[in-house]
Amino acid sequence: MLELKNISFHVSEDSKEKGILNDVSFTLKDHKFVAITGPNGGGKSTLAKIIAGIEKPTSGQILLDGEDITNKSITERANMGISYAFQQPVRFKGVTVLDLIRLAAGKHLSAAGACKYLSEVGLCAKDYINREVNGSLSGGEIKRIEIATVMARGTRISVFDEPEAGIDLWSFQNLIQVFEKMHEKMNGSILIISHQERILKTADEILVVADGKVAGYGERDEILPSLLGGENSTSGCKYWQKEEN
């Protein structure tokens, strides 16, 4: 179980202190699929980076199964089972998909073992296993490969920052299926930042972050109706994106 207690994050801007997150608290229970949504600039990505250890909070405390990890590095948290997937996955010239999955698994996998993870994310293993993780891969391909590495690691908490960003509708629909399968088969928790209605409908719980604060958190069926029927009171525009057919 991951607990965030009174997390704040401030930055200096034009010699003034600006609050990105202000006294944010929530608990991510084990084996849950949680979607984080809210208006742009509300603090969602910062919150995800603080969970992963990329950013350090100005104040507050982060606990993993009761252990204080507030000051632990991204490497230490990764070793404890927290993974983070960027909006734009990193590409590695000269590194093959097989190399990357082996690195993620932390052991020498056979090609057949690595192919199993590619198959889980809907990629034909023989077409990808020896390809370089470079610019020749599309946005949808690279994101599915990244998810395969997360599955190979077997992480306890998998954080995805707007996985729909920069990919076409067909790739997005396939990603949804991958996340549904991932949630079904993995023992860990999944935390996804998204504006997409389809992802919000897939989640067990929804956390709404607006103006650096928790504006709502609860079961999907409790939170979703207010999002689909309401407007963001601050900007006057919806911060979710309706599912396309």
pLDDT in tens, 117-146: 888 888 877 888 889 888 888 887 888 888
- Report percent pLDDT > 90 for the chain: 40
- CA–CA distance, 27 with 239 (Å, rounded to integer): 23
- For the cut 80, the answer to whether the pLDDT of residue 231 exceeds it is no
Q: Say what the pLDDT of residue 232 is.
A: 43
Direct distance between the N- and C-terminal alpha carbons of the chain, in angstroms, rounded to an integer: 36
Could you tell me the residue ranges of all domains in the chain? 2-229
The model's pLDDT over 164-187, given as tens digits with 9 standing for 90+, comes to 777 777 677 878 888 888 888 777
Query: What's the whole-number average pLDDT of the chain?
Result: 85
The answer to whether the beta carbons of residues 122 and 91 sit under 8 Å apart is no
- For the cut 60, the answer to whether the pLDDT of residue 243 exceeds it is no
- pLDDT band of residue 48 (cuts 50, 70, 90) is very high
The answer to whether the beta carbons of residues 158 and 191 sit under 8 Å apart is yes
- Average pLDDT (197-222) is 93
The model's pLDDT over 86-111, given as tens digits with 9 standing for 90+, comes to 777 778 888 899 998 998 888 888 88
- pLDDT band of residue 74 (cuts 50, 70, 90) is very high
pTM summary value: 0.81
- For the cut 60, the answer to whether the pLDDT of residue 244 exceeds it is no
Give Cα separations from 214 to 6, 17, 36, 112 (angstroms): 11, 20, 10, 44
Lowest mean pLDDT segment, chosen from 26-30, 165-169, 205-209: 165-169
More confident residue, 138 or 220: 220
- For the cut 50, the answer to whether the pLDDT of residue 245 exceeds it is no
- For the cut 70, the answer to whether the pLDDT of residue 230 exceeds it is no
- CA–CA distance, 210 with 44 (Å, rounded to integer): 8
Q: Say what the pLDDT of residue 182 is.
A: 81
What class has domain 2-229? alpha beta
More confident residue, 150 or 244: 150
- CA–CA distance, 210 with 224 (Å, rounded to integer): 15
Under 8 Å CB-to-CB from 13, ≥6 apart: which residues? Answer: none
- Average pLDDT (37-66) is 94
Q: Say what the pLDDT of residue 234 is.
A: 34
